[in-house]
Homo-oligomer: A and B are copies of this chain.
Amino acid sequence: MKQLENVRTFGGEQQVWQHQSATLNCTMNFAIFLPEQAKTEKLPVLYWLSGLTCTEQNFITKAGAQRYAAQHKVIIVAPDTSPRGDDVADNESYDLGKGAGFYLNATQQPWAKHYQMYDYIVNELPVLIAEHFPVNGKQAISGHSMGGHGALTIALKNPQRYSSVSAFAPIVAPTQVPWGQKAFQHYLGDNQTQWTQYDATALVNAETRLPIRIDQGDKDSFLTEQLRPELFLDACRAHHVACEYYLRQGYDHSYYFIATFIGEHIAFHAKALYQDPRTA
């Protein structure tokens, strides 16, 4: 592990680290915000998954989350959105290849060798974080757009690992929208029965218990074609699953939207993380 950045902010430290990922077969960066209390206490972790084209930098420079993470004593880990490096397969479009890992395990060529973001986020990264940082084992997960898809699917598939999940403008039904269909066909192949394991709307079920919150701007230009939150909300209703949903008037898909409501999301997760009765 190599430290690339360490900057004081809101009394804590915003760090960026580089490490060799065995899961992704490449060198990866991740960002971690450590509140001041992390010097003396073990704290819970909120994972933040970013959207298409992002790196580990977007969230930490634009969301203003550190203020609330410091206030609520929550560590935030923000990984990159795909494998990186010259020998990693890529595509010229912004919604496939680098910056567009979709938080799944690719089975198709040329992607399978590196595009294993699901295993990286669920398994490798938490072990690495636990080895190097003062965490107490409690985890929550959130994300934006493609990262909202990642957060919802990962939490729904691993409810024992996360106290809560939230998303800003998530892709809730990738198997039914162009972004998801394109990515899944390339990464997972034509057999659509393989796709539903990474579709939040297909995954939510009567056993789902963890707190879920979604914020969505009604001026988001991707709302009706790519995001379609009503599909997930209908599935929640059908299974009698609670989902806090806020349609925000006048807000778009940008970090200005995230910055406005990230404080509420961190408070939501902090409540779940600090009330979670499970021992670490």
Q: Verify A67–B259 contact, CB threshold 8 A.
A: yes
| CA distance in complex: A259, B60 (Å) | 11
Q: Interface with B: A45-53, A139-147, A155-163, A247-255, which one?
A: A247-255
Q: Verify B254–A7 contact, CB threshold 8 A.
A: yes
- Most chain-B Cβ atoms within 10 A of its Cβ — which of A8, A11, A61, A67? A8
Interface flag for A66 (CB, 8 Å): yes
Interface flag for A189 (CB, 8 Å): no
Chain A interface residue number, banded: 20 to 34
Q: Verify B67–A257 contact, CB threshold 8 A.
A: no
Determine how many copies of this chain the complex contains. 2
CB contact under 8 A between A61 and B62, given known A219-B8, A256-B14: yes
Q: Verify B9–A259 contact, CB threshold 8 A.
A: yes
Q: Verify A8–B257 contact, CB threshold 8 A.
A: yes
Q: Verify B64–A252 contact, CB threshold 8 A.
A: no
Nearest CB of B to A168, in Å: 13
Interface flag for A20 (CB, 8 Å): no
Residues of B within 8 A of A14 (CB): 256
| CA distance in complex: A87, B14 (Å) | 40
Residues of B within 8 A of A61 (CB): 61-62, 255
Q: Chain A, 201-220, contact with B by CB distance < 8 Å: what is the 0/1 string?
A: 00000000000000001010
| CA distance in complex: A79, B9 (Å) | 25
Interface flag for A222 (CB, 8 Å): no
| CA distance in complex: A66, B256 (Å) | 9
CB contact under 8 A between A8 and B259, given known A61-B62, A64-B64: no
Nearest CB of B to A175, in Å: 31
Q: Verify A8–B67 contact, CB threshold 8 A.
A: no
Closest to A219 in B: B8
Residues of B within 8 A of A260 (CB): 8-11, 67
Closest to A14 in B: B256
- Most chain-B Cβ atoms within 10 A of its Cβ — which of A61, A62, A217, A219? A61
- Most chain-B Cβ atoms within 10 A of its Cβ — which of A64, A66, A255? A64
Q: Which of B10, B11, B64, B217 is close to A67, meaning CB atoms less than 8 Å apart?
A: B64
Q: Verify A64–B259 contact, CB threshold 8 A.
A: yes
Show 24 A/B contacts (Cβ-Cβ < 8 Å), sorted by A. A7-B252, A7-B254, A7-B257, A8-B217, A8-B250, A8-B251, A8-B252, A8-B257, A8-B260, A9-B256, A9-B260, A10-B259, A10-B260, A11-B260, A14-B256, A61-B61, A61-B62, A62-B62, A64-B64, A64-B67, A66-B256, A66-B259, A67-B259, A67-B260
